[in-house]
Structure 1
Amino acid sequence: MGKGGALSDGVVKNIILSYTYVAIWIFLSFTVIVYNKYILDKKLYNWPFPISLTMIHMAFCSSLAFAAVRLFKLVEPVSLSRRVYLSSVVPIGALYSLSLWLSNSAYIYLSVSFIQMLKALMPVAVYSIGILFKKDGYKTSTMSNMLAISLGVAIAAYGEAKYDSWGVLLQLGAVVFEATRLVMIQILLTSKGINLNPITSLYYVAPSCLAFLAIPWVFVEYPVLRQQSSGFHFDFVIFGTNSLCAFALNLAVFLLVGKTSALTMNVAGVVKDWLLIAFSWSVIKDTVTPLNLFGYGLAFLGVGYYNHSKLLALKAKEAQKNMQSADEEAGKLLDERGGDGKGKKGDSQA
């Protein structure tokens, strides 16, 4: 085969790998969401302790990350001073703990399908908080897009058959804290040149997340668990496999973003949401109304347009960077030719 054939084979291989990463992430994300719902829902496994479940996840992830970094030396730790850790990593751990706590709590009150519809507000929250912290600039067109997404989610909420105000408040809080965490990662870590892979991220963030969760756990869930301790037997299979899925999901996120892009994950997230809505309706037998679907469809179009706009912006930025590189290269060639010409002129005069 010629060069063209080899190039085609490489392109096909990259496409297959990209779809594989997307499929792995969708499968693990889907599994963790449904598994958490199963454990927390009072009608299913009936263990409504979201802080405890999140703490089990963080303890498991911290242990595996510590073993990978310190015991088996599979990953090199990032050099962080105590000041940088306290000022940059700990705030992200606090935001992560609040996001996980509230999002897991929402599964007790809301259906899986409706929670996925509410998560469509994530771009709205990220953009709004980005403006607040001056990481994004205000654009009328983008804000109109955000309002369209918000309108779609509002319609979906209005059409929800089993609407619960407390559950909605919990999920909206989770979206706000998660969006703030994503923006703060850019401000506190990325802007300082600190890049954490999934293992080192869990190694540094998970322990602080666990410590923050312990504070509300002592006052909210520990007294209830202590009373129920005689009637509850810890199922290592259920909680072990659930924690393993959560750990694998963290690795899959890095794999997907690292090998493709964050934009690919956003698009894959939309596919995952539709799959979860279909699963929630057909298997879990959650009620999904036509108004639900209409509202989420509107939000879906808004999110799709937002992702498309980001893709065009990235392409334009990449094209501009390539043009600058080409101009710099041309400038260097001209300088070299000019230098050679002067040298030759000097030689002839001599």
Structure 2
Amino acid sequence: MAASKLPVLPVTNYPKKRAGGLFLHPVFYITCWIFFSNLTILFNKWLLDTAGFPVILTCWHMVFASLATQCLARTTSLLDGRHGIKMDRKLYVRAVLPIGILYSGSMVCSNLVYLYLNVAFIQMLKAASPFATLVVAWLWRQENPTRALVIKILVIVCGVLLASAGEIHFSWPGFLYQLGGLLFESVRVVMIHALMSGGDMDTDPLVSLYYYAPVCAVTNVLVAGVTDWPSFQWEDLARVGVGMLFLNAFIAFLLNVSSVFLIGKTSGLILHLTGVLKNILLVILAVLIWGTAIAPLQIFGYSVALLGILFYKMGWDEVKMHTMSFSNRYTDASGSTDEKKLATFVRRALFFIALVVVTVIVLRQRPPTGGLFTHAHSSPNSDVEKLPKPDVH
């Protein structure tokens, strides 16, 4: 399931702590987060194509996360931030419960959309999240958009519309599920902002997961009782394998852990740029693995949307300032010369691979006949989904 920004909870005067422990270069944390985020999405897509129980899969992820965070809270210091939260019934009902339900809705919609649309197009649609968040914040009376902000948002919307117009396997159900996921996520983000408006009251994603995972698990079980369970067959589970389900949930949990260290070791600008890079790499992987057909109009539209997102979140002056700051941190970072050379090599390799793959996509004159993985059946709604869709309604 898609990797999204996790909810935060109100806390008392508890100092922020950056992820400690053994020093590693920020490139390591960036690479880990990108790897686990994209691997989780691709793994989920494979499970849904193979077995097709989207809501049950989210249930399993949240049950695993609930158990894992309980174990970490009792055996490590990663969740010590929870001691700064004065959790009572009022706070639980006001913050944890609604945020957990909203995040559950976002996860369910985000998983259902993979039954109808390909991975690459889904990432393009997700670029519209700033627009949805701004609209919800305006309705919530948290934002009073300026002309400059509206222009930035319109650039993003135009890019997404261009990408949608170029989609070969467009599906209205998939589009509406993605829209629902964006709305759930936007309301969740705005609600978090409202809860935090009283002061410095945020905590890290892993502590948040400790609180809302049980709420999400219960909510998803109720939803699955209506959608997945009536058509679920144990043969679907056997086809995937119990071991693969455990591995999938473990990787999804590692994504949450890696996000904690990423936040602790990098700046806000690097977080934004890393998210853009992650989405671009995911689109490239979808093309390489499944042979997803990407039209030139989609590439242009997605590029416009990504540029709009960068303008929306910072602007050129802030980009330059943070880039210089990060460059100085990189130069002064402790570590061996070999380690710095390796980091430089990794960055150049990623750039070269992205450049080559994007060039190949642009030069293609016709849709591909297949990718690295091929299946016996095809779907009218997505070139990625090769098995018949289960009845989830």
Following TM superposition, by how much is the alpha carbon of 1:34 offset from its aligned partner in structure 2, in angstroms?
0.6
**Aligned residue number for residue 345 of structure 1:** none
Single out whichever of 75-84 and 229-238 deviates more from structure 2. Answer: 229-238
Structure 2 matches for 1:1-350, cutoff 5 A?
A: 17-41=25-49, 46-70=50-74, 75-76=79-80, 77=82, 78-189=85-196, 191=198, 193-225=200-232, 228-229=233-234, 232-233=237-238, 235-309=241-315, 312=318
Following TM superposition, by how much is the alpha carbon of 1:114 offset from its aligned partner in structure 2, in angstroms?
0.2
Distance (whole Å) between structure 1 residues aligned to residue 69 and residue 206 of structure 2: 5
**SS of the residue aligned with 2:60?**
helix
Distance (whole Å) between structure 2 residues aligned to residue 188 and residue 311 of structure 1: 30
TM-score by length of 2: 0.70
Decide whether the 8 Å contact of 2:206 with 2:260 is kept in 1: no
Distance (whole Å) between structure 2 residues aligned to residue 311 and residue 39 of structure 1: 43
**SS of the residue aligned with 1:283?**
helix
Decide whether the 8 Å contact of 2:269 with 2:319 is kept in 1: no
- Letter of the aligned partner of 1:53 in structure 2? L
Following TM superposition, by how much is the alpha carbon of 1:193 offset from its aligned partner in structure 2, in angstroms?
4.7
Decide whether the 8 Å contact of 1:94 with 1:209 is kept in 2: yes
Which stretches in structure 1 are left out of the alignment for 5+ residues?
A: 1-14, 317-350
Distance (whole Å) between structure 1 residues aligned to residue 118 and residue 208 of structure 2: 30
Which stretches in structure 2 are left out of the alignment for 5+ residues?
A: 1-22, 323-393
Decide whether the 8 Å contact of 1:267 with 1:307 is kept in 2: no
Following TM superposition, by how much is the alpha carbon of 1:262 offset from its aligned partner in structure 2, in angstroms?
4.0
Single out whichever of 243-252 and 258-267 deviates more from structure 2. Answer: 258-267
Following TM superposition, by how much is the alpha carbon of 1:212 offset from its aligned partner in structure 2, in angstroms?
1.2
- Letter of the aligned partner of 2:64 in structure 1? F
Q: Sort the Cα spacing of 1:252 and 1:262 in 2 relative to 1 into closer, same or farther, 3 A.
A: farther
Based on CA coordinates, which of the two structures has the bigger radius of gyration? Answer: 1
**SS of the residue aligned with 1:58?**
helix
Q: Deviations over 1:5-37 (max 9, x none)?
A: xxxxxxxxxx97322222111111110111111
Q: Deviations over 1:285-309 (max 9, x none)?
A: 1111111111111112211222332
Distance (whole Å) between structure 1 residues aligned to residue 131 and residue 228 of structure 2: 32
Decide whether the 8 Å contact of 1:149 with 1:298 is kept in 2: yes
Distance (whole Å) between structure 1 residues aligned to residue 270 and residue 290 of structure 2: 28
**SS of the residue aligned with 1:286?**
coil
Following TM superposition, by how much is the alpha carbon of 1:206 offset from its aligned partner in structure 2, in angstroms?
0.4
- Letter of the aligned partner of 2:28 in structure 1? T
Distance (whole Å) between structure 2 residues aligned to residue 296 and residue 313 of structure 1: 20
Distance (whole Å) between structure 2 residues aligned to residue 26 and residue 73 of structure 1: 24
Distance (whole Å) between structure 2 residues aligned to residue 106 and residue 311 of structure 1: 37
Percent identity, aligned pairs only? 34
Single out whichever of 99-108 and 261-270 deviates more from structure 2. Answer: 261-270
Decide whether the 8 Å contact of 1:88 with 1:189 is kept in 2: no
